[in-house]
Structure 1
Amino acid sequence: MTLVREWSAIIAAWPLREDARAAAQARQLIRGALTALGLQSDLVDDAVLMVSELVGNAVLYGDAPFELVLRPEQDELHVEVLDGGTINPVMRVAGPEEEHGRGLAIVCEVSGARCGCRHDVPFPTRDGVYGKSVWFAIPRRGQIAVPCFSGDSS
């Protein structure tokens, strides 16, 4: 994990595995970080669900490398899943028998449509690497004390 000194820009950034185990890794990381920041358990659970959906999509449809980033904004925390791909994610309507196709709709619904996609985003833990960021926001309920860290920690 990389914790960045300029925490007003990034709280934490984690490189993720480049296989199907990335979603489990990301769920554990975001749960730990948001719990440590004092977010309410319902918000943490929502964020874990949305991270799982976005990382799953990145692994299935995006390109490596993959990264999970937590950023503070005005009254929200933005959670981003970066991948090396350039193709925009597409929300679609899945039929009742389909196993895939609901992830972005779930993220849109759970986040209250506070989600999106950006391109040419630098990977915080990889110098000179840029990719696509698919993100969602969750509200900050109450004050969150964000520590100031520097350097790498595992």
Structure 2
Amino acid sequence: MTNTITPQRTADQARRRTDTLMQCAFSCEGVAAEAVSVLDAPRVGHMRRIVVAHLRHLGLDALVANMQQIVSELVTNAIAHAGGPVTVTLLVTGTEVRLEVRDSGAGRPLLRSASSGEENGRGLLLVDSLTTELGGRWGFDHDRRTVWVGIPIPISTP
């Protein structure tokens, strides 16, 4: 049996697969509360490509577009607001894809609505919208300094 889950696999087949874990970490060059530096900006794309490659390797292409956006928003927030080390973790179980972005900042991420004139401030609103649309959930673990998103794996039942 392969370890690949596709949206067409049955629930029984999905329960029999083993969990997979992917984790990447990097240190930011910029300073928290400033614009993302030119040295840190490429890291967002790197993390996005790594997560996408892992999802595609597991046959979860149906989640790629939305997870690309979620990874981009969460990693950008971690770089811009925390600075320091950032760790991206992707855990895929038989029923869920869980993305975690951990940083070293002191603040708490806030879901807010930005005015039409503001350039920033919509990231978590977008994460909330995409996560809800996919039937998932998201939150913040203050003790671990981690924003997490859990998205159910789309599985058809026979």
1:87 Cα offset (Å): 1.5
Deviations 1:4-34 (A, max 9, x none): xxx74x6110113522222111111111111
Q: Aligned letter for 1:13?
A: Q
Q: Match of 1:117?
A: 140
- Residues 96-115 of structure 1 correspond to what in structure 2 (within 5 A)? 96-112=116-132, 114-115=137-138
- Show CA shifts across 1:64-110 (max 9, x none): 10111012356211101111123210111111121100000000000
Residue 136 of structure 1 is matched in structure 2 by: 149
Instruction: Tell me: CA distance 1:85–1:97, structure 2 relative to 1, closer, same or farther (3 Å).
Output: same
2:25 corresponds to: 15
Unpaired segments ≥5 residues, structure 2? 1-17, 29-39
Q: Distance between the aligned counterparts of 2:50 and 2:26, measured in 1?
A: 10
Counterpart for residue 67 of structure 1: 87
Please provide the CA RMSD for this pair: 2.0
Q: Distance in 2 between matches of 1:85 and 1:95?
A: 25
Range 96-105 or range 65-74, more displaced: 65-74
Partners of 1:11 and 1:71 within 8 A in 2: yes
Flag the structure with larger Rg: 2
SS class of match (1:88): coil
Which segment is superposed worse, 134-143 or 53-62?
134-143
Q: Which residue of 2 aligns with 1:40?
A: 61
Q: TM-score, normalised by structure 1?
A: 0.73
What residue ranges of structure 1 are gaps of 5+ in the alignment? Answer: 1-6, 122-131, 144-154
Count of aligned positions: 125
Q: Give, in whole Å, the separation in 1 of the partners of 2:98 and 2:80.
A: 22
Equivalent residue number for residue 151 of structure 1: none
Is the 8 Å Cα contact of residues 40 and 141 (structure 1) preserved in structure 2? no
Instruction: Give aligned-pair identity as a percent.
Output: 33
TM-score by length of 2: 0.72
* Partner in structure 2 of residue 85 of structure 1: 105
Secondary structure of the 2:54 match is helix
Q: In structure 2, do the counterparts of structure 1 residues 17 and 33 end up closer, same or farther at CA, with 3 Å as the change threshold?
A: farther
